[in-house]
Structure 1
Amino acid sequence: MRRAAALLLPALVLAGCGGNEARKPAAAPTPTPSTRPEPVVDPAARLAAAVKAAWPDGVKQGPITFDDSKLVDTGFGPVLVSHGHVRDAAHADAGTIAVHYLDADGAGFTLRKSFPKAAESGSFGDLAEWSVSDKFLDRPVIQVEGGGTWQGYTCSVTTLVELRPEGPAEIASFPSLYDDGGAVEDRPQSIRGRIADIRKGQGFIVKFEGTRSFTERYVWRGGKYEREGGESRIPTC
């Protein structure tokens, strides 16, 4: 009886050791690294930094003041597009679109390339309107309209300028407004054209409405948009 108890004791001791191993605390889980939110960039401050890089001496450049700008992010870096106008301008003075290619530099920018007259249009020192669009091509396109009145005849031209890695390039230009009401008494004409039905990288149409209604189609060919069918049907000044 004593021998059986002696044999049982080591077995209980071993069992107790195994039980102690089972009760070892589990390894602490690996902490998940905290994710910090991306810093919020103030668009106004970013635009101001871009303008400072493009115009370090101020936005007044001779007779032209560039006080209306947009910062465009492209696949080849940030680009500042600026509209300039001339105060107390002569009739022949045009409005201007300047383009600056920038490089990010910390919280600011450095100037890479400058194109102070990427587009000129209009009269009396200003454009009619301008915008930047991503509808025409994979790269941004500046759309500019400018015109004027000469001896009662009012005309306007629309110009498209593509922002390419090497610099801005004009890809289309066409008459978009004609009005002779200030010069003609018998059957005056007033015709306005608007771009519509844009197919990116393929083409678009210009819908003309007014005293006459018609459309003209432009197709992408040879690195620019060209009008189909020869000369435009809208009169010019």
Structure 2
Amino acid sequence: MIRAAVSIAALAALAGCDMVPEKPPTPAPSHRATPVAAASSVPPAPAERLAAALRVVPVDKASRYAFGGDDRLIDTPSGPVLLRHGHVPDGSHADGGVIAAYYLRPQNDGFALVKAFPEAATSGSFGDLGKWSVSADFAAVPVLMVEGGGTWQGCTVGLTDLVALQPGGPASLASVTTSFDTSGMSPDSPETLTGSFADIVRDRGFTVRYEGTRAFAERYVRRGARFQPEGGESQVPGC
């Protein structure tokens, strides 16, 4: 009897309390929506851009030059320019090499040809030039540096031509003698000179420092469309 009374009292106490039973937890969704990544524009690889540029170059079956191997596509303030180095197979002493320039504009996923300059720069002998490169140091536009030259009756001269890739087309900035050697015609008392560029100030001037049988420097300054020796004439003799 006492145990039953206790149970009834406990039930009565629980009934008098404002107890709210806990709700079961909300089940988690069986799967979540995958966020969509923002679309991004991936630029084409350099090799793909070069291949697209080469596709718009006209084929000149009458050209005496053979191209390929070191083509370059560069960006200029006026748009992309494709540069191609050509040589004359089995060329004679009088034949030089060439740099061709093709001015392009973007079109769809590739390019369209705007202007073609098949002989933007020519130099060298026996069918080819020496070396070529592109510099951003000399002018506000990229500048071709083309090294060439040759030997005449034992006198060897090396020239470096600077050609600016202007919006309207390639334009000569200077032709500088960067090597001179008379050992082929005067073996007992040869004169040798080797010049290198220094102190370049864009669109204003540069210095050529010579070493060899003599050591001196020449300053070239911008006068109009070209760089010219400050004293009027170069001290380097010709053949």
The two structures have a TM-score, normalised by structure 2, of: 0.80
1:79-118 deviation digits (Å, cap 9, x = unpaired): 1111111110010001111111011122221111011111
Q: Give how far 1:40 is off.
A: 4.0
* Residue of structure 2 equivalent to 1:77: 79
Query: Following the alignment from structure 2 to structure 1, what is the Cα–Cα distance between the partners of residues 38 and 149?
Result: 54
Query: Following the alignment from structure 1 to structure 2, what is the Cα–Cα distance between the partners of residues 153 and 236?
Result: 9
Q: Give how far 1:176 is off.
A: 1.4
* Residue of structure 2 equivalent to 1:16: none
Query: Following the alignment from structure 2 to structure 1, what is the Cα–Cα distance between the partners of residues 62 and 163?
Result: 22
Q: What 5-or-longer segments of structure 2 have no aligned partner?
A: 1-34
Q: Give how far 1:153 is off.
A: 1.1
Query: Following the alignment from structure 1 to structure 2, what is the Cα–Cα distance between the partners of residues 91 and 184?
Result: 21
Query: Following the alignment from structure 1 to structure 2, what is the Cα–Cα distance between the partners of residues 128 and 216?
Result: 23
Quote the RMSD (CA, aligned, Å): 1.8
Query: Residue 36 in 1 paired to residue 52 in 2?
Result: no
SS at structure 2 position matched to 1:79? strand
Query: Following the alignment from structure 1 to structure 2, what is the Cα–Cα distance between the partners of residues 123 and 52?
Result: 30
* The one of 59, 71, 96 aligned to 1:94: 96
* Number of residue pairs the alignment of both structures matches: 204
Query: Following the alignment from structure 1 to structure 2, what is the Cα–Cα distance between the partners of residues 61 and 141?
Result: 28
Corresponding letter in the other structure for 1:187: S
1:22-73 deviation digits (Å, cap 9, x = unpaired): xxxxxxxxxx995434314211121121122124x37x75220121311111
SS at structure 1 position matched to 2:91? coil
* Residue of structure 2 equivalent to 1:211: 213
Percent identity, aligned pairs only, is 50
1:126-147 deviation digits (Å, cap 9, x = unpaired): 1111111111111111111111
Query: Following the alignment from structure 1 to structure 2, what is the Cα–Cα distance between the partners of residues 232 and 104?
Result: 43
* Residue of structure 2 equivalent to 1:65: 66
Q: Give how far 1:166 is off.
A: 0.9
* Residue of structure 1 equivalent to 2:188: 186
Query: Residue 110 in 1 paired to residue 112 in 2?
Result: yes
The two structures have a TM-score, normalised by structure 1, of: 0.81
Corresponding letter in the other structure for 1:51: L
Q: Give how far 1:170 is off.
A: 0.5
Query: Following the alignment from structure 1 to structure 2, what is the Cα–Cα distance between the partners of residues 61 and 169?
Result: 25
* Residue of structure 2 equivalent to 1:236: 238
* Residue of structure 2 equivalent to 1:47: 50
Question: Residues 33 and 226 of structure 1: is their aligned pair in 2 closer, same or farther, counting only changes over 3 Å?
Answer: farther
Query: Following the alignment from structure 1 to structure 2, what is the Cα–Cα distance between the partners of residues 80 and 69?
Result: 7
Corresponding letter in the other structure for 2:235: R
* Larger of the two Rg values belongs to structure: 2
1:131-185 deviation digits (Å, cap 9, x = unpaired): 1111111111111111111221111111111111111110111211111111112
* The one of 115, 120, 123 aligned to 2:122: 120
Query: Following the alignment from structure 2 to structure 1, what is the Cα–Cα distance between the partners of residues 150 and 175?
Result: 16
Which 4+ stretches in 1 moved above 3 angstroms? 32-38
